[in-house]
Structure 1
Amino acid sequence: MTYQLRALRALALLAGFHLIGVALLAAMAAFDWLMVTRWLTARAAWFEGMVLTSTVLVALVILRGMYAFLRAGRLQPLPEAVAVSPEEQPELWEQVRATAEAIGERVPDELYLVAEVNAGVAERNRLLGLVPGRRRMVLGLPLLAGLTVPRLRAVLAHEFGHYANSDTRTGGAAMRGRLAVVQTVESFLGGSTPLHHAVGIPYVAYARMFLRTSYSVARRQELAADRLAARHAGRDTTAAALRTLPVLSAAYSHYLETYAAMGEPLGALPPVGEVYGGFRRLLAAREEEQLAALAAGRHQPRPHEYDTHPPTAERIARIEELPADDPRDVAVHEPAALALVRDADRVFAALEARTLPHGAAGLRRLSWDDLVMARAVADADGWSRPLRVAVARALGPSARRGDHTMTDPAADDGLPGLAEVLDAFDRGLLWMAVADRIPKPDQAARLTGASARNFVRPRVFDGLAGMVQLHLVEAGEAGPDIAWSGRPGLTLPEEFEAGLDDALDAAVADTPDTAPLRALLAGRVPATGAPAAAV
């Protein structure tokens, strides 16, 4: 489809949306006029007020949708991005310029860095794109962290393909038009009156037609941009970049959930620049197979009929149908794309300042080791507290703290310490009294016998493990483990790493045996040099 035909189609879609709005507004105005001048009686004044209120509310929804459609194609501010100039980032801009020249396109006027595994281009549309406008390119810092320079060139070539095919000139209006249609339909379907739902019927029908038309065109545009990228950056490099994107996206989601958000319950953040910058450390510590496993372990959303991008597997298959690359063009050494960013630590810090919530400025910053330790202690305390409370209730008001010298910071709150919990297990209280006092969901409250024990056992196991971890931390025998290649937590003494699970299993068995766990604990000496606690 030529650019002129796409412009005409965009104009037709735009006109159709507004014609529906104008027709509905005219119909409601005529209805209100007839009701007021011909049908209204003194007894029905309340009905007139209700109808007029409903039509005004519906008219506002229509006008808001029409206004949003009119704004389609405008470049919106990017408050959560860092603008970089050619003077600030010459190496990165040089890659952008080189790709633009290779494809024969104009260099973007603006380049922004964002905290996403994504890249995109936009162009300010005037007269549906008939007049060329200001161009913008957006690159994700996490994307640069996970791509090599050749694969970045493939991504850049793909984005310049949208410029070359004039996708951005009509694409801005089409994209924002889709958003305007969807938002208008949602407003009507979520309305509070039957009139909202009735008026929404033509918009629903139009939205389906609009989305089916615009999304099918968007898919063809993506495939065309892929072909252009393969022609300029190489077939195999472009296919490799496409394979990398979902892996990077899954790894970045895992990083944000597991590492960047680690301090949320504590009111703390990683060091300045590390909220997003720490992703580099995870990528450096994990092999490609480990990263791929993260992507494989995540639930993949089902393709939607209105997706603007074809499935990645289909895009790769289309690319691999193209002629193979010349082996002489394959790069032996592929430097990391993030190396193109000067003073990356400063850029990551600047991105944090633009993206973190306002309240984040007052949060304390902890080193990764301190953050891991603080979170591990908080988690261990959370796991152990239900067990300790249950033991306290099982022992009753006559329970008293023994003369044990075992270091136990958790016992400072008046609840039983580790030695007292083990003593209670030895007295047979675990399955006689403690288990019934551990909180459980309503559906599990009716379980009895072996079923009840098997449901509670993991909670007792975790609680006891948390108490052991707190004991080792206080004794100076456990330290933080950021574990960029695994999951952050604590490093325990070698004998605990090897035998703790078996000892805990014995302690929470149907017939509890705390001897293995006591033997492990008896072999440790607190950091203060005091003798080991009697357990």
Structure 2
Amino acid sequence: MRAARALVLLVGFYLIGVVLLAAMALLDWLLVTRWFTARAAWFEGTVLTVTALLAVAVLRGMYAFLRAGRLGPVPHGVAITQQDQPELWEQVRAAAEATGERPPDELYLVAEVNAGVAEQSRLLGLLPGRRRMILGLPLLAGMTVPRLRAVLAHEFGHYGHLGTRLGGITMRGREAVLHTVAVFREGSTAMHHAIGALYIGYARMFLRTSQAVARHQELAADQMAARHAGREATAAALRALPVLDAAHTHYLETYASMGMPCGALPPVGEFHGGFPRLLAARTGERLAAFSAGVRPPRPHPYDSHPPTGERIALIEELPADGRTDGSAEEPAALTLLRDPGRVFAALEARTLTREAMGLPRMSWDDLVMARAVADAEGWSRPLRLAVARSLRSAGHPSEGTAPVVRRDASATRTAGDAELPGLEDVLDAFDRGLLWTEITDRIPKPAQAARLTGASARNFVRPTVFDGLAGMVHLRLAATGQVAPDIAWSGQPGLTLPEVWERDMDDALDAAVADTPDTAPLRALLTAANRVSA
């Protein structure tokens, strides 16, 4: 029935195209043979041009169908052979055998929390063809071996229920229809939009029908996974997927790309290979917290997967099979790989741009320090610029300006031709009463905030001043070697400050940015820090 439905949808797509082409051909024939007049030649020429353009659009959609569904290259994946990784391939073959299917011809590792199968089928998807499987390295890092077995069996469940062969029909039809709709939407004539409306209506019907079939296939594949890997491992794998996805997103944003503003990358293989470190440091509830605030998407008729909660509930309704998840005792699926560091390095070469691959490599600690200094410079710069301009306006040129210091070298930022003021210069300006009369007026702020006055204006800009002072403190402590980098896989990377600064800095900064600034507490901390560095 699914095959018949898919074939009917494909026939319907072709019928639309054939009918439209026939109608346009008839119109052109009538124009040329029956309706053509010398006085209306310009009109017939315009119509012939429009119908020719429409025919090209329809033919492009048909051609897209013929080309869709072929197995192209995987530019962002690493091909894994049975000779390279026999243990991983053994799990793949075992899942294939348990589900009564043949293993894939190709296996690729990618940088996503994902797994999938594809098949270059023949005869509109009714005959089997070359098979390909992709597995995400982050998935292997976050799944135990039993959970990976469930994932593999689920994917072969698509094969067992003709999911990929029938999926070839639906996916090829989907690509062709959507491509044709896009072509008509790009058109500029009313006829383009009118005919495009037919394809849009058909596309909606096609998606509703084909995606409903896909959702049934997902549930059937879940049942296959539970039979092979066990009910508990299958349900646990489904629960783990959104957690791993959220954790991986956090890792990429916080750790992997940490050095990008500084023009540096982690050590070779660690751009993706650091993710297992984060997972090892954040287990249980701390790991689940990544997805705690993520709302599941609302179901709609075009979903290709049923809601995860519904899938888990159906699996848990299955009879107990005596097999447990074994997550505490079982190794991570990443242990199936031989020399995972080499695989992570190969994946970097496939996923990073040539420019990124040419960046210098730094240790995680050096990256943390470089990023912390870069961030501190960014926090402090608006305040230092505002102080420099205020001092020039008030006729008090800064004295004893201090450069912005990196860990490995010093660098001076300029405001026009003058050096930016140092920390003591900023505190002196506060003591002169310039903070709320001159400095904050020169700190950039949104237009709406610029109209604020009095306490409202001070409260709006106070966090910016606080952060600017904190950034200058971090730069000073980094320049004098009094901070240490903390990669903090279990928390947030940053700098570890001396104990007295960890304890007293926030209160000292609050006093310095109060309505009546008091810089004495912060100066006392700086004096103590100078004695330590000396």
Q: Deviations over 1:467-523 (max 9, x none)?
A: 111111111112222111112121211111222222111111111111121111111
Matching residue of 1:416: 421
Match of 1:372 among 356, 360, 368: 368
Paired letter, 2:511: A
Q: Aligned equivalents of 1:451 and 1:184: distance in 2?
A: 55
Paired letter, 1:470: L
Does structure 2 conserve the Cα–Cα contact (< 8 Å) formed by 1:69 and 1:177? yes
Matching residue of 1:320: 316
The answer to whether residue 251 in structure 2 is matched with residue 255 in structure 1 is yes
Matching residue of 2:398: 401
Matching residue of 2:100: 104
The answer to whether residue 436 in structure 2 is matched with residue 431 in structure 1 is yes
The answer to whether residue 265 in structure 2 is matched with residue 265 in structure 1 is no
Q: Aligned equivalents of 1:115 and 1:236: distance in 2?
A: 27
Matching residue of 1:115: 111
Paired letter, 1:211: L
- How far 1:451 sits from its partner (Å)? 1.4
Q: Aligned equivalents of 1:278 and 1:332: distance in 2?
A: 22
Does structure 2 conserve the Cα–Cα contact (< 8 Å) formed by 1:72 and 1:173? no
Judged with a 3 Å threshold, the aligned counterparts in structure 2 of structure 1 residues 446 and 329 are, in CA distance, closer, same or farther, namely: closer
Q: Aligned equivalents of 1:419 and 1:160: distance in 2?
A: 67
Matching residue of 1:345: 341
Q: Which moved more, 1:398-407 or 1:358-367?
A: 398-407
Does structure 1 conserve the Cα–Cα contact (< 8 Å) formed by 2:238 and 2:308? yes
Does structure 1 conserve the Cα–Cα contact (< 8 Å) formed by 2:76 and 2:347? yes
Q: Aligned equivalents of 2:282 and 2:328: distance in 1?
A: 21
Matching residue of 2:133: 137
Q: Aligned equivalents of 1:526 and 1:64: distance in 2?
A: 76
Q: Aligned equivalents of 1:333 and 1:299: distance in 2?
A: 31
- How far 1:51 sits from its partner (Å)? 4.2
Does structure 2 conserve the Cα–Cα contact (< 8 Å) formed by 1:73 and 1:171? no
Paired letter, 2:70: R
- How far 1:41 sits from its partner (Å)? 5.6
Does structure 1 conserve the Cα–Cα contact (< 8 Å) formed by 2:388 and 2:398? no
- How far 1:438 sits from its partner (Å)? 0.5
The answer to whether residue 167 in structure 2 is matched with residue 162 in structure 1 is no
Alignment of 1:470-509 (within 5 A): 470-509=475-514
The answer to whether residue 461 in structure 2 is matched with residue 461 in structure 1 is no
Q: Aligned equivalents of 2:423 and 2:25: distance in 1?
A: 76
Matching residue of 1:216: 212
Q: Aligned equivalents of 1:417 and 1:350: distance in 2?
A: 46
Q: Aligned equivalents of 1:520 and 1:406: distance in 2?
A: 20
Q: Aligned equivalents of 1:13 and 1:404: distance in 2?
A: 75
The answer to whether residue 515 in structure 2 is matched with residue 515 in structure 1 is no
- Partner of 1:111, secondary structure, is strand
- Partner of 2:19, secondary structure, is helix
Match of 1:26 among 22, 27, 42: 22
Does structure 2 conserve the Cα–Cα contact (< 8 Å) formed by 1:74 and 1:172? no
RMSD: 2.2
Aligned residue pairs total 525
Alignment of 1:430-449 (within 5 A): 430-449=435-454
- Partner of 1:324, secondary structure, is coil
Q: Which moved more, 1:455-464 or 1:357-366?
A: 357-366
Q: Aligned equivalents of 2:263 and 2:325: distance in 1?
A: 51
Alignment of 1:520-531 (within 5 A): 520-525=525-530, 530=534
- Note the residue ranges of structure 2 that are not aligned, 5 or more in a row: none
Judged with a 3 Å threshold, the aligned counterparts in structure 2 of structure 1 residues 461 and 38 are, in CA distance, closer, same or farther, namely: farther
Q: Aligned equivalents of 2:158 and 2:40: distance in 1?
A: 59
- Partner of 2:303, secondary structure, is coil
Matching residue of 1:533: none
Q: Which moved more, 1:248-257 or 1:388-397?
A: 388-397
Q: Aligned equivalents of 2:296 and 2:457: distance in 1?
A: 35
Paired letter, 2:198: P
- How far 1:49 sits from its partner (Å)? 5.3
- How far 1:329 sits from its partner (Å)? 8.8
The answer to whether residue 313 in structure 2 is matched with residue 308 in structure 1 is no
- How far 1:44 sits from its partner (Å)? 5.5
Does structure 2 conserve the Cα–Cα contact (< 8 Å) formed by 1:476 and 1:526? no
- How far 1:34 sits from its partner (Å)? 3.7
Does structure 2 conserve the Cα–Cα contact (< 8 Å) formed by 1:117 and 1:252? yes
Q: Aligned equivalents of 2:213 and 2:85: distance in 1?
A: 35
Q: Aligned equivalents of 2:45 and 2:32: distance in 1?
A: 10
Judged with a 3 Å threshold, the aligned counterparts in structure 2 of structure 1 residues 275 and 239 are, in CA distance, closer, same or farther, namely: same
Q: Aligned equivalents of 2:361 and 2:41: distance in 1?
A: 64
Q: Aligned equivalents of 2:455 and 2:37: distance in 1?
A: 75
- How far 1:189 sits from its partner (Å)? 2.8
Matching residue of 1:229: 225
Judged with a 3 Å threshold, the aligned counterparts in structure 2 of structure 1 residues 102 and 461 are, in CA distance, closer, same or farther, namely: same
Q: Deviations over 1:9-54 (max 9, x none)?
A: 2221111111111222222333344445555666666555554444
- Partner of 1:78, secondary structure, is coil
Paired letter, 1:107: P
Judged with a 3 Å threshold, the aligned counterparts in structure 2 of structure 1 residues 354 and 405 are, in CA distance, closer, same or farther, namely: closer
Paired letter, 2:397: R
Alignment of 1:235-250 (within 5 A): 235-250=231-246
Q: Aligned equivalents of 1:461 and 1:40: distance in 2?
A: 80
Does structure 2 conserve the Cα–Cα contact (< 8 Å) formed by 1:115 and 1:142? yes
Q: Aligned equivalents of 2:12 and 2:194: distance in 1?
A: 19
Does structure 2 conserve the Cα–Cα contact (< 8 Å) formed by 1:230 and 1:238? yes
Q: Aligned equivalents of 1:188 and 1:346: distance in 2?
A: 47
Does structure 2 conserve the Cα–Cα contact (< 8 Å) formed by 1:235 and 1:322? yes
- Partner of 2:121, secondary structure, is coil
Q: Aligned equivalents of 1:394 and 1:107: distance in 2?
A: 72
- How far 1:99 sits from its partner (Å)? 1.4
Matching residue of 2:61: 65
- How far 1:134 sits from its partner (Å)? 1.4
Q: Aligned equivalents of 1:267 and 1:76: distance in 2?
A: 33
Paired letter, 1:445: A
Judged with a 3 Å threshold, the aligned counterparts in structure 2 of structure 1 residues 11 and 406 are, in CA distance, closer, same or farther, namely: closer
- Partner of 2:277, secondary structure, is helix
Identity of aligned residues (%): 71
Q: Deviations over 1:91-111 (max 9, x none)?
A: 001111111122221121111
- Partner of 1:82, secondary structure, is strand
Paired letter, 1:106: R
Q: Aligned equivalents of 1:133 and 1:234: distance in 2?
A: 30
Normalized against structure 2, the TM-score is what? 0.93
Q: Aligned equivalents of 2:172 and 2:531: distance in 1?
A: 64
Matching residue of 1:147: 143
- Partner of 1:112, secondary structure, is strand
Judged with a 3 Å threshold, the aligned counterparts in structure 2 of structure 1 residues 526 and 100 are, in CA distance, closer, same or farther, namely: farther
Q: Which moved more, 1:52-61 or 1:134-143?
A: 52-61
- Partner of 2:530, secondary structure, is coil
The answer to whether residue 388 in structure 2 is matched with residue 383 in structure 1 is no
Paired letter, 1:401: S
- Note the residue ranges of structure 1 that are not aligned, 5 or more in a row: 531-535
Does structure 1 conserve the Cα–Cα contact (< 8 Å) formed by 2:28 and 2:48? yes
- How far 1:201 sits from its partner (Å)? 1.0
- Partner of 1:334, secondary structure, is coil
